[in-house]
Chains A and B, each alone.
Chain A
Amino acid sequence: MGNTSSMLTQYDIEEVQEHCNHTFSQQEIVSLYQRFCQLDRNGCGFISADEFMSVPEFAVNPLFQRLLRMLDGLNFKEFVAFLSAFSSRASLQQKVEFIFKVYDSDGNGKVTFNEMLDILRDLTGQFISEQQREKVLTRVLEEAGYAKDSLLVQADFMKIVGNSGLKMEVEVPVD
């Protein structure tokens, strides 16, 4: 099934495991490789945006565009590292770091008001007006003690969303 021209050797699996900080077991990595090959239909070593969009459950997700940008051109090792935040073995820190990276589109380590607004726009679409979105965001920011022009860093995100109630886990099916 899929492109098995490059079978995973034990060495490959260990390298990938190292790269994702052991958040996945070796069997899970093998399963993820099968999945990667299944999605990478033309076998060019990475999954194109089109190939991701052929998964209907992914295509109907409001954040699909943001995630496609992050998934663009990833090879298998990087693909596993991307998904590592969703493993049950990932720490709270890793999960919050992932959420932060989704917001921080220019990757400068600081999340601006506009970057937060962009995500809110993806999540609410045309069902809230632009003005109302800005008002809502400003209001909740101020109530949490942040001015409108504050720049949030990862530590802030850890404070705001990082608590034991954060559930961000996906199970990798292992046959």
Chain B
Amino acid sequence: MSKLSTSSSEIDLDRPNIEDYLPSGSIQEPRGKLRLRDLLDISPTLTEAAGAIVDDSFTRCFKSIPPEPWNWNVYLFPLWCLGVVVRYGFLFPLRVLVLTIGWIIFLSCYFPVHTLLKGNDKLRKKLERGLVELICSFFVASWTGVIKYHGPRPSMRPRQVFVTNHTSMIDFIVLEQMTAFAVIMQKHPGWVGLLQSTILESLGCIWFNRSESKDRGIVARKLREHVEGADNNPLLIFPEGTCVNNHYSVMFKKGAFELGCTVCPIAIKYNKIFVDAFWNSRKQSFTTHLLQLMTSWTVVCDVWYLEPQNLKPGETPIEFAERVRDIISVRAGLKKVPWDGYLKYSRPSPKHRERKQESFAESVLRRLEEK
């Protein structure tokens, strides 16, 4: 069992080499004696910078790619208007009604179960799980979700965690409908946070705060404790750490992969034909996102439960994480990028720049000696 690394510098050193992924081609190994030209010719470095300014693989991951407008002619436009009327005037109120009914049923069953059955834990937990699955089904119904589940349903076994790619918070609802997972999530403000601290708490969910670096050690410990517990709900982890636009996958955090358990990958792919399920948290609040889903025709997605994976002998957790990311990306048709999702919120570590400086400095000194 590998020791838990909690310092951020260690995490940086363990990262797979970004240079392997970045477009190189400009930096070939220079040969021959060092001349003035070699020092003054900064064109490779400048080209890399300009390339990043013009287009970069990180920003692409979080771009909401708008669908082609199809309603632009005399025949289709009135049809589209009719669609808008149906969606907003008829479907939306119906869905709000369904959701309200669902919440009423849920709350009126949940609180009695939670308080009255305090002594009888096993039964209480079973009922609570069933109730959460129920409310999630109501949520899915409120977007008229068409979800196809592929692969064998995950069996409840100890010492296993589930990992999946992340597109929106509805990923959780989509999966929860089928199996009551305990999830590890960012603590959100507002009504979502309220839900998190009350109902989801009873599922055994774990909260973290992205902005606190000390948090990582605490979270790692909580993860471990949860996995050891025999009758805790199976743990669902989103190793990307942030919502990505369902066309790319960013690097997986290794926390889930160094617990010494079996990792069961799940791949989720949304079909954008009716609505884009990507929650662009930079652009819209979760409420707006939900409303957008509830006023579209339907949410279509595929969920694949993939073969459970174990750490191979001689494999590091990082390599394990990359291997599982590969499996998920291939299944869901995602392109892999070598960036840490948290770069949405912070700058890259100076170590990457320093590595470039080091390699250039080395080549200068080496070529100085050549004759």
Contacts and interface: CB of A to CB of B under 8 A. Distances in A.
B1 interface: no
A1 B43 CA distance: 32
B51 A63 contact: no
Q: Which secondary structure dominates where chain B touches chain A? A: helix
Contacts of A126: 354, 357
Contacts of A35: 53-55
Contact of B52 (A55, A124, A160): A55
Given A55-B52, A166-B43, 7 more contacts: A38-B59, A61-B48, A86-B54, A123-B42, A167-B44, A170-B51, A170-B54
Query: Nearest 7 CB-CB pairs, A to B?
Result: A125-B357, A57-B52, A127-B361, A144-B36, A124-B361, A60-B352, A58-B52
Given A98-B46, A169-B47, A57 B56 contact: yes
Contacts of A54: 59
A59 B47 contact: no
A172 B52 CA distance: 11
A54 B282 CA distance: 13
Nearest to A79: B53
Contact of A123 (B48, B347, B360): B360
Contacts of B82: none
B36 A170 contact: no
A124 B64 contact: no
Contacts of B357: 62, 123-127
B37 interface: yes
Nearest to B52: A57
B358 A59 contact: no
A83 B46 CA distance: 11
A119 B42 contact: yes
Interface in B31-46: 34-46
A107 B70 CA distance: 52
Given A60-B353, A123-B45, A127-B357, A1 B64 contact: yes
B50 A57 contact: no
A148 to B, nearest CB: 12
Contacts of A166: 41, 43
A125 B35 contact: no
Contacts of A168: 43, 46-47, 50
Interface stretch (B118-126, B229-237, B362-370): B362-370
Nearest to B57: A57
A141 B37 CA distance: 9
Interface of A: 1, 32, 35, 38-39, 41, 52-64, 67, 71, 83, 86, 95, 98-99, 102-103, 116, 119-120, 123-128, 132, 136-137, 139-141, 143-144, 146, 157, 160-161, 166-173
B36 A99 contact: no
A86 B47 contact: yes
Nearest to A141: B36
B48 A57 contact: yes
Contacts of B66: 1
B13 interface: no
Contacts of A95: 43
Contacts of B74: none
Contacts of A38: 59, 63
A119 B47 CA distance: 15
A164 to B, nearest CB: 13
B273 interface: no
Contacts of B38: 140
Nearest to A28: B54
B207 interface: no
Contacts of A127: 354, 357-358, 361-362
A61 B45 contact: yes
Contact of A99 (B43, B54, B63, B365): B43
B17 interface: no
A116 B54 CA distance: 27
A160 B361 contact: no
A116 B40 CA distance: 8
B356 interface: yes
